[in-house]
Amino acid sequence: MKKQFVAYIRNLQNEITSALEEIDGKAKFVEDKWTRKEGGGGRTRVIENGNVFEKGGVNISEVHGKLPESMQAYFGVKDADFFACGLSLVLHPTNPMVPTVHANWRYFEMYNAEGTIVDSWFGGGQDLTPYYLFEEDAIHFHTVCKTACDKHDSSFYKAYKKRCDEYFYNTHRNEARGVGGLFFDYLKQTETMTMEDWYNFVTEVGNSFLESYLPIVKKRKDLSFLKANRDWQEIRRGRYVEFNLVHDKGTLFGLKTNGRIESILMSLPPHVQWRYDHHPEEGSEEEKLVKILQQPKDWISY
């Protein structure tokens, strides 16, 4: 399974970076191959200062070795080794009318002292973080997510949409990071779902990513904006940073397993603001967004 999924994410990285370069029209991804001394490595691709994307990364990694003591305690195991692979992407557009997007699809195996697999699972999802709320964009994004889910189980979208709303939530701010999408983790073999079934589901979601995001980019990338709109974008980016550094499990896992710091922090935007006790103007488009983020919304009917 791990060979199958590694082959998949390598190919998906190529597809996504090619499509993003085409829509940007200026910047190209710079590739950085790296190795991890404890085992494994990855292929980081970063795009910067383009016509559309101010900064973005589409990374794949395959890492393995001894599970750190802190993670052994977290999983309740001893003397365990692990293998983890995945594709993770974050795109921060220049135009504040274009939303930031994040996606991740991953596979994990854990081994005992004899090298036997004792556990394995898939995880991942994709979520949208707008700075200005165009409801039709949120509806489109969620519709694509639901379509991918429904091909495998009609209950998946509702369940994984709910988990996304719960997970990508800045509890210290009492607001969501964005308008959600899908989030799933610990997808393990059951009586009704084999690991091959989960592979087919996770790759279905991965294959739907470009369809979920690029139409939104095309629609919004040439809209006009003012400096005040950029200021708001940078303030909201600050909330994005707060989530990634305070709450995100992937970031914490990377730091605790001596992951490559440049790849881990690739998700952070280049220009951010933190203004003391900032509140948007009453009745403004900015306030409209905040109100939605304070109470997750069902964008489409189940």
- The full DSSP string for 241-272 is HHHHHHT-HHHHHHHHTT--HHHHGGGS-SS-
pLDDT band for position 287 (cuts 50, 70, 90): very high
pLDDT band for position 109 (cuts 50, 70, 90): very high
- In the predicted model, is pLDDT for residue 73 greater than 80? no
Strand, coil or helix: 194 = coil
- The full DSSP string for 136-147 is HHHHHHHHHHHH
Residues 104 and 250: beta-carbon distance below 8 Å: yes
pLDDT score for 38: 87
Average pLDDT score over residue span 152-169: 97
How many domains does the chain divide into? 1
Q: Where are the beta strands (DSSP E) in the chain?
A: 30-35, 40-48, 53-66, 81-93, 100-111, 117-129, 169-170, 175-176, 180-187
> How large is the angle between the packed helices 209-220 and 135-150, nearest 10 degrees?
170
pLDDT score for 165: 96
Handedness of CA 241, 243, 246, 249 (dihedral sign): negative
- pLDDT tens digits, residue range 253-270? 778 777 778 888 888 999
In a domain, 29, yes or no: yes
- In the predicted model, is pLDDT for residue 102 greater than 70? yes
pTM: 0.94
**Residue 132, exposed/middle/buried by CB under 10 A (0-12, 13-18, 19+)?**
buried
pLDDT score for 197: 98
Could you identify the residue written with the tokens 């709303």? 165
Residues 181 and 208: beta-carbon distance below 8 Å: no
pLDDT band for position 114 (cuts 50, 70, 90): confident
pLDDT score for 271: 94
- Indicate the range of 3-17, 163-177, 239-253 predicted with least confidence: 239-253
Average pLDDT score over residue span 104-122: 91
Q: Identify the CA nearest to 177 among candidates 107, 100, 251, 115.
A: 100
In a domain, 301, yes or no: no
In a domain, 31, yes or no: yes
**Residue 242, exposed/middle/buried by CB under 10 A (0-12, 13-18, 19+)?**
middle
In a domain, 208, yes or no: yes
d(CA 6, CA 94): 31
pLDDT score for 29: 98
- pLDDT tens digits, residue range 185-217? 999 999 999 999 999 999 999 999 999 999 999
- pLDDT tens digits, residue range 217-232? 999 999 999 999 999 9
Active-site amino acid positions: 102
Q: pLDDT averaged over the chain? A: 93
∠ Cα 28 29 30 (to 5°): 115
Domain that holds residue 201: 2-294
CATH number of the domain residue 112 falls in: 3.40.1500.10
pLDDT score for 302: 63
